[in-house]
């Protein structure tokens, strides 16, 4: 396996959260990951409605079809359920598809193939089949994305056995986790966030993996633990930046993957702070926030000094209109308010 | 050029002997022109970043919505996808409410919740639309089913793009409509593209309408640049639906001049030949019809001038209305999550 | 509206948990509900693959097509996504479809229509559209149902705004909640459990509604609160029956609906007992258990005297084989073990 | 009787001039007979409640799996739905592993995780199956895609029922297969029923293969009760796939005698005319072929007797094997949730 070997040989695998290397845009980091994977392993192919568009899909795929040929980087019919199954079938016989979507909303069309097929083959086949499939999509927000183009559905899938779910927030992680996802032998979903994709950061050259299932501290502090992923965690970081002059400090943990979940890092921090705020880009109810909130109430109850708090989306739909949308998404101020309440009590 | 205008494949419905009265012909012309002018005004102001909504303009394809809706009663129901403007306006949707929706105002047709991809006006039978490709097709079939079972008088029209026929749900819905002989007309607006993806990378070289036909649904491919062709084909299909004879499928071929979304032509980016756009502009639905009407002495320069004036003033006042309308407040967020 | 009027006129609406009336089987109670609804309102129709089968769907629909005609009770093509949308469309123009499925697994094919369409119409239409649609399915268990015919997916949908979700466990509730669901103007999912459907109980004649969003106490006690629905709650009740001679007593709450969730009854009981065990028929992770566990850690933290506990399904798939399946589903003994642990600590 | 045997609609592939050698003909007969005897043994023991698995017997339809698989290489991959037994056995799947799976034993082909609806044997190209109708169709197309892109030699065969063509995913997969000219053969086993629902309440009166054909896929309807017809049609389609000419669709018409699931005929319950079952038994794939072979002096009574004996002993020892095998332990539950 040229691919696996190259990855193992790679020293970069050991590199922790990038503080050095070139400054790259998030989008370029992702494209580099795809390009490296296509180069390393002939079994990798990249597909999705629009990956061959002149500007690529959000720039992530720009030019790849020219570099690697339309046999390996290609546009698809608009058939999400069928194509997901087709990818799973190709994976089952040893290929490594990377299927890209503009929006997670479109994955709702493919839940039968994701939940009842791709996630189950390895288990139902008693270990004889495996599905090295990556499904990537970018959570929409703003500019009228509205109820049908903004759904952050990670919470709907978190409970499904057999899946891995990745939600990066930095260019470094986006690249390293994409490579890790492609190298992984399981159906892996990556939920990018359109707003995280605007950032730049340090990104090493060449192949490296960020481990799936490992969170990192983005800030260290003592008053509380803030845990989450993706754009929700970025807002939390901004909130903490503002609160720091007021003498409030927190452990801010970027989980990076929500399944498998890095329980250890959460418990470790909570032991110190005793308070936890969980943030997520999806609906607050019965999703990522709920899982983590319940988990600590179950397994770290005796470390809790106050109520678990969560900030996700309210039990309503995303408005398309600009002003309504401002009320829908929790912002820095709202997070600051909750954090202050938690600290003051 | 990948997709030239190719009249050979079209079935013709409108015979030159058919005589329509001048009022009707003028109405068709005026409606197409009105849609064009509204779209142009939206396009020209879009860069101001005040319409914070993704738009999918219908310039070049006005004839399909206008021709089809001319064959409908106000009580008939129309459904469409993301490319809403043409259907909404042709079905008689309120222009002010539409502009307010695009400007994210509280008095938008969806109270600023839906944006450009969710325009509707239930008072005139513009029933629903969906930003999910093919999403509203089953909805439309369900409404047709209700009409049949309740012996309502209305029929349904389902507007969809060529790419919508790649979604399995379309075939599921078509099968059900054919099985139960439902009062519905499917209008597939084939403009050869799904965003930047040409038909050839999405479907084998078989005509879409031929596939629909094989499901037992009377199907045709027509010249979607000719409003009278569209009207005549739609009339026949609407008649079929209303008489209880079941669904029809019309593949209406026309071309969009501007980019898939937004306000500019993006052909220079490489996904299509800019010459293709120019080529289709020569078969522009509005100028073709203009020339036809003038040649038949059904329209004069003065009448057109008058029309343009009226439309201009209507458009300006709709924009004005929208811009000066209030934005929705926070209390709106949690209402109507559930219906009473 | 003949339907609404009849319901309001009905005195039975006020009847609480049935202790009188005929003894009816669960299945007959459901059929009676359908029959009454069909009779009351010409806008009601019943459809689904197999509803016209000689034995009906699990007996629930037996004979209805003969009574009300195949125009109103009819079999469908195998097109779950399309048919769900068709039902939503019919509902949008005023009909009241009741769409039945053998298994919730098949709903995964229809998530696009459920999550991105039916649940959103009322909201996106600014209140002008509404979707009085009932989607019914029966959770499978045993006899080789296996990974693809046993999925209790309520947890995947609980976070989705605009839906109502019902999970009955008695014949009385099954009938009353079916009637309430048909009378409701929102897309409502009913998840029956195949094993609950074997029971009999008191069921009043005629029309009555069990309120959607209201739980009931099935047992009263002091040591802990056990909360859940459907077959999982039945197992919990059995566990409490065994534990009662040992002097252990609990408030056992049957929520009956999981969305809207009856938070009040949970908080009320917890105030007294200080301990909570949440049980569910679905995956434990990020679903119903997680939501309720997080909810109490958030809003009733100060009443908690010990860790929240949950018992749902492990993070694995349902085995088809009989012996493996015994290990998969939490049984009475497992629940007793957890409850004892909770009480003893 | 709703669905009589109607040879008029079938395309014939096997000409009586085609000469097959005796060994081959005997093999086909033996394979059909073997499947029948295995199914009968399962049926006769099902009431013991030891095979705790939902079964979908293939009695009456053996010829399709056998005829198709005879045209395949061992390295070719087969995929199917819930009605697995015929395909699994015809493709060469291990009988003992199958029986162990039905008896929920640790050495079942799926380690007791899959049950009767998830039989596979990757060593002989019985690649996958799904209990979700149409669920394995996209999988099969994906494997065919992999074969094409990697220039592997194998082709894929996707077995599906008539009801599977009502699922949108089938049309999505068919479109993709046609678009990319993938090496795949779709075998639609049309037995007129989906559980107890006859075709007429599920699809308008149009032939399934005609719809597939309209998607640009060479399609035929054949007599699925005649194994040589099936074989000849499959050979042509397999040849097409292997040569790079793309997919084919074969609608193979045959009838199941027993209930949809379980071990008994449920016709008396009313969903079909018991006379219909009797009628189709007159066109039984095995006795028809038997008579043909005897008439051509290709099979003798002694040979058949010998065959029956061998099969009987193989079947008994497979059941014995299964019954005496150990059940899986609790530690199995959490393994293979993830692959390394
Ligand atoms: C299910 C789904 N997949 C992808 C998209 C993204 N998308 C929006 S419009 C569009 C193109 C649709 O093409 P067509 O149906 O031909 O309509 P046209 O835009 O040409 O009018 C796509 C792919 C979507 N909205 N929904
Ligand atoms: C998506 C889905 N819906 C419903 C079912 C229940 N079901 C199992 S087999 C079957 C009948 C399928 O009929 P067909 O495809 O013609 O195959 P046959 O049983 O006749 O061989 C049905 C409806 C299912 N397994 N999957
Ligand atoms: Mg198009
Ligand atoms: Mg069948």
DSSP category for residue C211:
P
Looking at the DSSP bridge assignments, the partners of residue D221 are D251
**pLDDT value of position A9:** 53
Set of chain C residues whose Cβ sits within 8 Å of the Cβ of D116 = 144, 320
Mean local confidence (pLDDT), C82-90: 98
Whether residue C232 is contained in a domain is answered as yes
Residue C19 has pLDDT above 80, yes or no: no
My answer on whether C198 and C228 are in the same domain is no
- Only one residue has tokens 């018991």, namely D274
Within 48-107 of A, beta carbons closer than 8 Å to B belong to 49-50, 52-55, 74-82, 105-106
Nearest CA to ligand 1 atom 11: B194
When mean pLDDT is compared across B173-177, B266-270, C7-11, the lowest value belongs to: C7-11
Which of A48, A49, A104 for a ligand 1 pocket mutation test, highest count of atoms within 8 Å of Cβ? A49
**pLDDT value of position A14:** 46
B122: nearest Cα among B147, B94, B83: B94
My answer on whether C54 and C86 are in the same domain is yes
Nearest to C79 among B110, B118, B176 (CB): B176
What is the whole-number distance in angstroms between the Cα of residue D84 and the centre of ligand 2? 12
My answer on whether A93 and A165 are in the same domain is yes
Q: Which of D112, D142, D157, D215 to mutate to test the interface with A (most CBs of A within 10 A)?
A: D142
CATH code, A149: 3.40.50.970
Per the structure, the count of domains in chain C is 2
**Would you state the structure tokens that stand for residue D157, as one six-digit string?**
């065969």
Put residue C94 in one of left, alpha, beta given phi > 0 → left and psi -120 to 50 → alpha: left
Counting ligands in written order, the one closest to the CA of B253 is 3
Q: Spell out the residues 6+ positions from residue C8 whose beta carbon is closer than 8 angstroms to its own.
A: none
pLDDT tens track for C200-248: 999 999 999 999 999 999 999 999 999 999 999 999 999 999 999 999 9
What's the domain range around C225?
A: 216-344
Minimal CA separation from B149 to chain C, in Å:
7
Minimal CA separation from C8 to chain A, in Å:
29
- Helix pair B285-295, B22-45: axis angle to 10 deg: 150
**Would you state the structure tokens that stand for residue D268, as one six-digit string?**
């008396």
The pLDDT mean for chain D works out to: 97
**pLDDT value of position C12:** 47
Nearest to C82 among B113, B132, B138 (CB): B138
The answer to whether C201 and C178 are in contact (CB under 8 A) is: no
CATH architecture of D7-260+271-323: 3-Layer(aba) Sandwich (3.40)
In chain D, beta strands by DSSP E: 77-80, 126-129, 156-161, 184-190, 193-194, 197-198, 219-223, 248-253
Nearest to C297 among A124, A284, A308 (CB): A308
Whether residue C165 is contained in a domain is answered as yes
Nearest to D128 among A123, A126, A129 (CB): A129
Question: Torsions phi, psi of A228, nearest 5?
Answer: 170, -160
My answer on whether C233 and C314 are in the same domain is yes
What is the whole-number distance in angstroms between the Cα of residue D169 and the centre of ligand 4? 17
What is the whole-number distance in angstroms between the Cα of residue D92 and the centre of ligand 4? 24
Minimal CA separation from A68 to chain D, in Å:
13
Mean local confidence (pLDDT), B280-298: 96
Q: How many CA atoms lie within 13 A of B150 on its CB side?
A: 22
The response to whether residue B144 sits with its C-beta less than 6 Å from ligand 1 reads no
A218: nearest Cα among A282, A276, A169, A268: A169
My answer on whether C148 and C243 are in the same domain is no
Q: How many residues does chain D have?
A: 340
Q: Which of A202, A228, A246 is the last residue of a domain?
A: A202
Q: Does D107 touch chain C (CB under 8 A)?
A: no
What is the whole-number distance in angstroms between the Cα of residue B194 and the centre of ligand 1? 6
CATH code, C286: 3.40.50.920
DSSP notation for C98-111: EEEES-GGGGGGGH
3-class DSSP assignment, residue D204: coil
Q: How many residues does chain A have?
A: 345
Mean local confidence (pLDDT), B119-129: 98
Single pTM value for the model = 0.98
What is the chain C residue with the closest CA to B172?
C82
In the structure, what pLDDT confidence band is assigned to residue B17 with cuts at 50, 70 and 90?
Answer: confident
**pLDDT value of position D18:** 78
Q: Does C196 touch chain B (CB under 8 A)?
A: no
Mean local confidence (pLDDT), D143-150: 98
The answer to whether A104 and A149 are in contact (CB under 8 A) is: no
Whether residue A210 is contained in a domain is answered as no
Set of chain B residues whose Cβ sits within 8 Å of the Cβ of D201 = 179
Whether residue A209 is contained in a domain is answered as no
**pLDDT value of position C18:** 56
In B26-125, beta strands by DSSP E: 77-80
C340: nearest Cα among C272, C220, C251, C249: C249
**pLDDT value of position A345:** 79
What is the whole-number distance in angstroms between the Cα of residue D159 and the centre of ligand 4? 11
What is the percent of chain C with per-residue pLDDT over 70, rounded to a whole number?
A: 94
**pLDDT value of position A18:** 55
Mean local confidence (pLDDT), D274-296: 97
Mean local confidence (pLDDT), D128-143: 98
My answer on whether A103 and A247 are in the same domain is no
**pLDDT value of position C13:** 47
In the structure, what pLDDT confidence band is assigned to residue D15 with cuts at 50, 70 and 90?
Answer: confident
Q: Which of A173, A202, A231 is the last residue of a domain?
A: A202
The response to whether residue B195 sits with its C-beta less than 6 Å from ligand 1 reads yes
Q: Within chain C, what is the greatest distance between any pair of CA atoms?
A: 60
d(Cα A111, Cα A120) in Å, to the nearest integer?
A: 12
The response to whether residue B260 sits with its C-beta less than 6 Å from ligand 1 reads yes
Q: Which of C46, C111, C125 to mutate to test the interface with B (most CBs of B within 10 A)?
A: C125
My answer on whether A223 and A173 are in the same domain is no
My answer on whether C50 and C165 are in the same domain is yes
The answer to whether D6 and D226 are in contact (CB under 8 A) is: no
Index of the ligand 2 atom closest to the CA of residue C149: 25
Mean local confidence (pLDDT), A82-99: 98
Residue A183 has pLDDT above 50, yes or no: yes
The answer to whether D40 and D249 are in contact (CB under 8 A) is: no
**pLDDT value of position B16:** 73
My answer on whether A259 and A150 are in the same domain is no
pLDDT tens track for B56-99: 999 999 999 999 999 999 999 999 999 999 999 999 999 999 99
Whether residue A299 is contained in a domain is answered as yes
Q: Which of A202, A231, A264 is the last residue of a domain?
A: A202
pLDDT tens track for D24-64: 999 999 999 999 999 999 999 999 999 999 999 999 999 99
Domain boundaries, chain B: 7-260+271-323
d(Cα D98, Cα C73) in Å, to the nearest integer?
A: 40
**ipTM, 2 decimals?**
0.98
My answer on whether A166 and A241 are in the same domain is no
Mean local confidence (pLDDT), A336-344: 97
**pLDDT value of position A11:** 44
- Cβ-count burial B193-212 (b if 16+ within 10 Å, e if not): bbbbbebebbbbebbbbbbb
Preceding omega of D204 cis (within 30 degrees of 0): no
Whether residue A309 is contained in a domain is answered as yes
My answer on whether C175 and C223 are in the same domain is no
- Only one residue has tokens 């921090």, namely A269
Residue B100 has pLDDT above 60, yes or no: yes
The pLDDT mean for chain A works out to: 95
Q: Which of A80, A113, A144 to mutate to test the interface with B (most CBs of B within 10 A)?
A: A144
My answer on whether C195 and C221 are in the same domain is no
Q: What share of chain A is helix, strand, coil (3-state, %, to 5)?
A: 45, 20, 40
**pLDDT value of position A13:** 47
The response to whether residue A106 sits with its C-beta less than 6 Å from ligand 1 reads yes
Annotated catalytic residues of C are 149
Environment of ion ligand 3 (residues, CB < 5 A)? B 161-162, 191, 193
Residue C3 has pLDDT above 70, yes or no: no
d(Cα B3, Cα B255) in Å, to the nearest integer?
A: 9
Set of chain B residues whose Cβ sits within 8 Å of the Cβ of D206 = 178, 214-216
**pLDDT value of position C17:** 58
């Amino acid at each position: 396996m040229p691919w696996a070997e190259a990855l193992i040989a790679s020293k970069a695998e050991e590199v922790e959260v990038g503080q050095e290397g070139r400054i790259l845009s998030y989008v370029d980091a992702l494209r580099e990951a795809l390009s490296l994977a296509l180069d390393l392993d002939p079994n990798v192919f990249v597909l999705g409605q629009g990956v061959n568009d002149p500007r690529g899909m959000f720039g992530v795929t720009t030019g790849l079809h020219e570099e690697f040929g339309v046999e390996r980087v290609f546009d698809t019919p608009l058939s999400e359920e069928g194509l997901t199954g087709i990818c799973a079938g190709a994976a089952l016989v040893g290929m490594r598809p990377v299927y890209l979507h503009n929006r997670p909303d479109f994955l709702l069309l493919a839940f039968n193939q994701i939940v009842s097929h791709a996630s189950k083959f390895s288990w139902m086949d008693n270990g004889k089949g495996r599905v090295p499939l990556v499904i990537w999509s970018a959570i929409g927000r703003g500019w009228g994305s509205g109820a049908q183009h903004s759904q952050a559905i990670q919470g709907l899938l978190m409970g499904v056995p057999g899946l891995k779910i990745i939600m990066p927030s930095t260019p470094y992680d986006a690249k390293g986790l994409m490579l890790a996802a492609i190298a992984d032998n399981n159906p892996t979903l990556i939920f990018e966030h359109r707003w995280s994709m605007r950032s730049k950061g340090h990104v090493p050259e060449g192949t490296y993996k960020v481990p799936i299932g490992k969170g990192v501290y983005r800030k260290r502090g003592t008053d509380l633990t803030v845990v989450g992923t993706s754009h929700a965690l970025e807002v939390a970081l901004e909130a903490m930046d503002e609160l720091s002059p007021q003498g409030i400090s927190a452990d801010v943990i970027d989980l990076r993957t929500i399944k498998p979940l890095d329980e250890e890092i959460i418990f470790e921090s909570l032991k110190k702070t005793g308070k936890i705020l969980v943030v997520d880009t999806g609906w607050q109810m019965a999703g990522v926030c709920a899982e983590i909130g319940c988990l600590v109430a179950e397994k770290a109850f005796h470390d809790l000094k106050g109520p678990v708090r969560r900030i996700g989306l309210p039990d309503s739909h995303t408005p398309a209109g600009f002003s309504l949308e401002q009320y829908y998404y929790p912002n820095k101020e709202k997070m600051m308010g909750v954090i202050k309440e938690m600290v003051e009590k | 050029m990948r997709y030239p205008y190719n009249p050979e494949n079209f079935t013709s419905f409108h015979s030159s002997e058919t005589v329509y009265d001048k009022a009707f012909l003028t109405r068709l012309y005026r409606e197409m022109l009105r849609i064009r002018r509204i779209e142009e005004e939206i396009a020209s102001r879009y860069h101001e970043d005040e319409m914070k909504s993704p738009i999918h303009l219908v310039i070049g394809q006005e004839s399909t919505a206008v021709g089809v809706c001319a064959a409908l009663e106000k009580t008939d129901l129309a459904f469409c996808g993301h490319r809403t403007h043409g259907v909404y306006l042709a079905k008689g949707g309120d222009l002010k409410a539409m502009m307010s929706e695009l400007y994210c105002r509280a008095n938008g047709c969806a109270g600023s919740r839906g944006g450009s991809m969710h325009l509707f006006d239930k008072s005139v039978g513009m029933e629903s639309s969906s930003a999910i490709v093919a999403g509203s097709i089953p909805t439309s079939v369900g409404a047709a089913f209700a009409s049949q079972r309740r012996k309502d008088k209305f029929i349904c029209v389902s507007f969809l793009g060529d790419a919508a026929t790649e979604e399995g749900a379309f075939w599921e819905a078509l099968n059900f409509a054919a099985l139960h002989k439902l009062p519905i007309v499917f209008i597939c607006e084939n403009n050869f593209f799904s965003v930047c993806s040409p038909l050839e990378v999405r479907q084998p070289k078989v005509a879409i309408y031929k596939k629909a036909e094989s499901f037992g649904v009377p199907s045709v491919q027509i010249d979607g640049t000719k409003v009278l062709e569209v009207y005549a084909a739609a009339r026949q299909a609407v008649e079929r639906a209303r008489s209880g004879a079941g669904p029809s499928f019309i593949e209406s071929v026309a071309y969009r001049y501007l980019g898939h979304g937004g306000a500019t032509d993006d052909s220079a980016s490489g996904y299509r030949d800019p010459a293709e756009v120019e080529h289709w502009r020569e078969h522009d639905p509005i100028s073709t019809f203009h020339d036809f009407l003038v040649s038949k002495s059904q329209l004069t320069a003065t009448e057109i001038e008058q029309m343009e004036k009226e439309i201009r003033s209507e458009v300006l006042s709709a924009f004005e209305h929208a811009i000066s309308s209030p934005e929705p407040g926070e209390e709106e967020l949690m209402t109507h999550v559930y219906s009473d």
